[in-house]
Structure 1
Amino acid sequence: MAGVLLGIARHARSRAPMELVDHVEVTVEGGIHGDFRGAMRGKPYKRQVTLIERGDWAAAMAEVGHTIGWEERRANLLVDGFDLPQTAGVRVRIGAEVVLEITRECDPCERMEALAEGLRAAMTPDWRGGACAMVISGGRIAVGDEIRMEEA
């Protein structure tokens, strides 16, 4: 089942504000162009790109009674109509070229609690905080691109 890429965000350095963009290059070496996490070294680096489901963010917001932009989660990609795989090693394709491999759950950190009391706990169940991934195949992605499971 395919979904859609609703948003792309990046930050140039740790704790920098998130920048929303409508398209971006993604590379194996650097992850999301302009995002500091993608270029971090270490083999294998398991947090090049982070993804979150729109519905999971909305559920967490409803639980804490706030309306905060998804980019404050500090995830790179917002998807809709697609259940992110909850298994390391599963691959997803975004658009025509980009393939990401899910590496692990993206655990919510203490920064979520600074946004809204109870948000960290609201994001904990069922991978609601999103998924971390590494880039397998690079290319250009844009808001509106299809996201789907990659055929094995």
Structure 2
Amino acid sequence: METVDHAAVTLERGIVGDFRGAMKGKPYRRQVTLMERGDWEAATAEVGHVIPWEERRSNLLIDGFDLPQVRGIRVRIGDDVVLEITRETDPCERMEVLADGLRAALLPDWRGGACAMVITGGTIAVGDEIRIER
């Protein structure tokens, strides 16, 4: 995993540089994964560990915004990027390698994050505003 302070986002590739974001079938519903900082911290606290968020392997860490837990809702990040929430991100077995019980701690209330597909590409950066697209 590599953390960056800005990234290009495209319809064809998701977050440029992330091999999982490339279109695989149409429509590909897991181009970008998002996770709330508070959810990660709650889950890791529940299992009694402090684990860097990057270990979850989500694309974007969201802070100060309650991600919608509804398929089809669109969120705008910064001026240009629009993502559509497609489903909950399922925590994988790798979470158990990080800490016993972490996978289960990520299951309630979409704590493991949300998957999204790109509707409108552009550039995003740390500190960009995120909001529901109306």
Q: Please classify the TM superposition score into its range, dividing by the shorter chain length.
A: over 0.9
Give the letter for the 2:82 counterpart: V
Instruction: Tell me which residue corresponds to 2:13.
Output: 30
Instruction: Tell me which residue corresponds to 1:103.
Output: 86
Matched, 1:112 2:95: yes
Runs of 4+ in structure 1 over 6 Å off: none
Instruction: Tell me which residue corresponds to 1:128.
Output: 111
Instruction: Tell me which residue corresponds to 2:2.
Output: 19
Q: CA deviation at 1:41?
A: 1.4
Which protein is richer in strand relative to its size? Answer: 1
Give the letter for the 1:32 counterpart: I
**Equivalent-residue separation in structure 1 for 2:7 and 2:21 (angstroms):** 13
Number of aligned residues = 134
**SS across alignment from 1:120:** helix
Name the TM-score, length of structure 2 as normaliser. Answer: 0.98
CA-atom RMSD in angstroms: 0.6
Instruction: Tell me which residue corresponds to 1:11.
Output: none
Name the TM-score, length of structure 1 as normaliser. Answer: 0.87
Q: Show the 5 A alignment for 1:54-69.
A: 54-69=37-52
**SS across alignment from 1:42:** coil
What percentage of aligned pairs have identical amino acids? 78
> Structure 1, residues 4-61: CA drift from partner, whole Å, max 9, x if none?
xxxxxxxxxxxxxx10000010000100010011114111111000000000000001
